[in-house]
């Protein structure tokens, strides 16, 4: 099945939109082939501000109707406790909210950007999507991450080579309670490091200190920017470490 055929079968559809490579490509194709579509973005403490701005920019560029929901995931105790399957509880909360809004707007079909490269066995959140009957057109059509990046680049989408950006909650070790203040510090640090020129990295937050994890090719850059990094991260976390186990 092609995406064109998928949207012919599902001509009125809501897209759970994150502003990342996968959901951006899916939303673009839905706008092209579906008779009626809408993108729904959920803003929580787990998404940095730049992700929301990318989502807004993308939808404005391609005239995709966008609805933004503001939701407090930290009000959910099952999420805050941060168990190994936290993603299941979080996805359940977020996609339930998206589904409610979609139905309110007259869309009975909801799709997300899970692609054919995603490992369902390693993603607790997929269980929540299955329970809520969310469709994954990219997966259904056998479209892999490398393939959709290539096609996105051919189409000129600015999201084509955008690095994967896992939610901020992944910076907190499993089993450690998630606090809003921690997430804010991580977001502030990562935003500033991006402005310095770092890409595809993580500021992880074990209890009591920060651990910077970068790609192998950026290790030397860390040393060159050592003083600047300490000036940014020191006041936020106190102790700052470099993880020699690169991404």
Q: Does domain 3-155 have CATH number 1.10.10.10?
A: no
- Please tell me the predicted confidence (pLDDT) of residue 164: 81
Helix (H, G, I), strand (E, B) or coil at 211: strand
Model pTM score: 0.90
Sign of the C-alpha dihedral, residues 44, 13, 59, 112?
Answer: positive
User: pLDDT below 70 — which residues of the chain?
Assistant: 119-122
Nearest CA to 134 out of 14, 7, 5, 40 is that of 14
* 202 contacts 183 by C-beta, under 8 angstroms: no
| Cα 196 to Cα 214: distance, rounded to the nearest angstrom | 13
- Please tell me the predicted confidence (pLDDT) of residue 120: 62
User: Parallel, antiparallel, or unpaired for β 239-242 and 209-213?
Assistant: parallel
Tell me what the pLDDT averaged over the chain comes to.
Answer: 93
196-205: string of b/e by CB count within 10 Å (b at 16+)?
Answer: eebeebbbbb
| Cα 233 to Cα 203: distance, rounded to the nearest angstrom | 9
- Please tell me the predicted confidence (pLDDT) of residue 122: 55
């Amino acid at each position: 099945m092609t995406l064109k055929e998928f949207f012919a079968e599902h001509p009125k559809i809501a897209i759970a939109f994150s502003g990342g490579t996968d959901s951006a490509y899916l939303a673009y194709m839905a706008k092209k082939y579906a008779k009626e579509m809408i993108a729904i973005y959920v803003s929580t403490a787990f998404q940095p501000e730049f992700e929301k701005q990318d989502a807004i920019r993308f939808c404005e560029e391609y005239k995709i109707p966008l609805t933004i929901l503001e939701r407090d995931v930290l009000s959910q105790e099952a999420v805050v406790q941060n168990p190994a399957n936290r993603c299941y509880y979080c996805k359940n909360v977020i996609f339930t909210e998206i589904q409610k809004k979609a139905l309110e707007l007259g869309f009975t079909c909801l799709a997300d950007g899970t692609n054919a490269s995603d490992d369902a066995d390693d993603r607790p959140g997929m269980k929540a999507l299955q329970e809520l009957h969310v469709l994954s057109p990219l997966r259904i059509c056998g479209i892999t991450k490398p393939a959709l990046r290539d096609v996105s680049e051919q189409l000129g989408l600015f999201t084509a080579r955008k690095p994967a950006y896992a939610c901020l909650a992944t910076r907190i070790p499993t089993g450690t309670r998630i606090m809003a203040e921690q997430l804010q510090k991580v977001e502030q640090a990562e935003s500033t490091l991006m402005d310095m020129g770092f890409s595809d990295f993580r500021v992880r937050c074990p209890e009591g200190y920060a651990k910077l994890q970068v790609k192998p090719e950026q290790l030397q850059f860390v040393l060159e920017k050592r003083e600047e990094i300490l000036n940014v991260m020191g006041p936020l976390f106190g102790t700052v470490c470099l993880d020699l186990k690169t991404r």
